[in-house]
């Protein structure tokens, strides 16, 4: 199994349960690992034979930027569903960071894996 990843993809969105969070966009930071097989792309040297990380990032920027979830759990689950279903990825690991959510902590967030790893 090969991994294509996106690191520190920052997206502004409405996220949170408090009244003020429903009115002010906050930044969520995504670290994403996606299972794939790069051998065909390595052989052909053609973008159509690989997982297009630009297409993945564009889709997620559009989705997350227009979402208004209360919980990072819900947002994380939906992001993984998009990656698995729309990009034909068998396994994904997502780390979603909601910086500044807790005073005194530099990071807070969630780490989830969905799908099946095929090593």
Residues 3-15 pLDDT 10s: 999 999 999 999 9
For residue 24, what pLDDT is reported?
94
Question: Is 98 among the catalytic positions?
Answer: yes
Residues 49-105 pLDDT 10s: 999 999 999 999 999 999 999 999 999 999 999 999 999 999 999 999 998 777 888
Q: What fold characterizes domain 2-115?
A: GTP Cyclohydrolase I, domain 2 (3.30.1130)
pTM attached to this predicted model: 0.94
For residue 102, what pLDDT is reported?
78
* Catalytic residue from among 25, 58, 98, 99: 98
**Contact partners, residue 52, CB within 8 Å, separation at least 6:** none
Instruction: Count Cβ atoms below 10 Å from residue 51 Cβ, excluding itself.
Output: 20
Torsion angles phi and psi, residue 112, rounded to 5? -130, 155
Q: Which residue has the tokens 């040297």?
A: 45
């Amino acid at each position: 199994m090969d991994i294509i990843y996106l690191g520190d993809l920052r997206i502004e969105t409405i996220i949170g349960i408090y009244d003020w969070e429903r009115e002010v966009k906050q930044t969520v930071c995504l670290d994403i690992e996606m299972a794939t097989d790069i051998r065909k792309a390595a052989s052909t040297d053609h973008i159509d034979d690989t997982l297009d990380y630009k297409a993945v990032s564009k889709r997620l920027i559009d989705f997350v930027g227009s979402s208004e979830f209360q919980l990072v759990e819900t947002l994380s689950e939906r992001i993984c569903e998009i990656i698995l279903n729309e990009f034909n990825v068998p396994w994904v690991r997502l780390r979603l960071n909601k910086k500044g959510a807790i005073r005194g902590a530099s990071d807070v967030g969630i780490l989830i894996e969905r799908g099946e790893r095929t090593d």
